[in-house]
Amino acid sequence: MNKGTPTDELATFVRVIDLGSFAAAAADRGLTASAVSKIVSRLEDRLGVRLIERTTRRLVLTPEGETLLARGRDIVAAVAAAEAEVMAARGRPRGLVRVTTGTAFAKHRLVPLLPDFHALYPEIALDLAVADRRVDIIGEQIDVAIRTGPLGDSSLIARTLATSTRVVCAAPAYLARHGAPVVPAELAAHICLRLTGYARLAEWPMRIDGRIVPLKVSGAITCDSADVLRDMVLAGLGIARLAAFMIEDDLAAGRLVPLLVEHHVPEPVPITALMPPGRQSLPRVRALVDFLAARLDART
**Residue 199 pLDDT class (50, 70, 90 cuts):** low
Q: Same structural domain for residues 62 and 202?
A: no
Residue 280 lies in a domain: yes
pLDDT for res 7: 84
pLDDT for res 185: 94
Q: Same structural domain for residues 126 and 189?
A: no
Q: Same structural domain for residues 258 and 295?
A: no
Indicate if the pLDDT at residue 297 is higher than 70: no
Indicate if the pLDDT at residue 133 is higher than 70: yes
- The overall average pLDDT reported for the chain is 88
For residue 171, what is the domain's CATH number? Answer: 3.40.190.10
For residue 12, what is the domain's CATH number? Answer: 1.10.10.10
Indicate if the pLDDT at residue 198 is higher than 70: no
pLDDT for res 60: 87
Q: Same structural domain for residues 173 and 263?
A: yes
Indicate if the pLDDT at residue 130 is higher than 80: yes
Higher pLDDT, 199 or 122: 122
What mean pLDDT do residues 190-198 have? 86
Indicate if the pLDDT at residue 3 is higher than 60: no
Indicate if the pLDDT at residue 298 is higher than 60: no
2 C-beta neighbours (distance < 10 Å), count: 7
Q: Same structural domain for residues 141 and 279?
A: yes
Indicate if the pLDDT at residue 173 is higher than 60: yes
How far is residue 56's CA from residue 54's CA, in Å, rounded to a whole number? 7
Q: Same structural domain for residues 204 and 173?
A: yes
Q: Same structural domain for residues 146 and 287?
A: yes
Residue 184 lies in a domain: yes
**Residue 258 pLDDT class (50, 70, 90 cuts):** very high
Q: Same structural domain for residues 229 and 183?
A: yes
Residues β-bridged to residue 192:
239
Indicate if the pLDDT at residue 299 is higher than 60: no
Domain, as residue range, for 133: 95-158+273-299
pLDDT for res 154: 72
213 C-beta neighbours (distance < 10 Å), count: 15
Q: Which string of DSSP letters, residue by residue, matches the chain?
A: --TTSHHHHHHHHHHHHHHTSHHHHHHHHTS-HHHHHHHHHHHHHHHTS--EEE-SS-EEE-HHHHHHHHHHHHHHHHHHHHHHHHHHTTSS--EEEEEEE-HHHIIIIIHHHHHHHHHH-TTEEEEEEE-SS---TTTTT-SEEEEES-----SSEEEEEEEE-EEEEE-HHHHHHH---SSGGGGGGS-B-EETT-GGGGEEEEEETTEEEEEE---S-EES-HHHHHHHHHTTS-BEEEEGGGTHHHHHHTSSEE--TTTB----EEEEEEE-TTGGGSHHHHHHHHHHHHHHHHH-
**Residue 266 pLDDT class (50, 70, 90 cuts):** confident
pLDDT in tens, 148-157: 887 775 778 8
pLDDT in tens, 92-105: 788 999 999 999 99
**Residue 28 pLDDT class (50, 70, 90 cuts):** confident
Indicate if the pLDDT at residue 21 is higher than 90: no
Residue 1 lies in a domain: no
Indicate if the pLDDT at residue 48 is higher than 90: yes
Total domains, the chain: 3
Q: Same structural domain for residues 50 and 102?
A: no
C-alpha separations of 249 from 59, 108, 149, 167 in Å = 51, 10, 21, 13
Q: What's the pTM?
A: 0.66
Q: Same structural domain for residues 258 and 176?
A: yes
Indicate if the pLDDT at residue 269 is higher than 80: yes
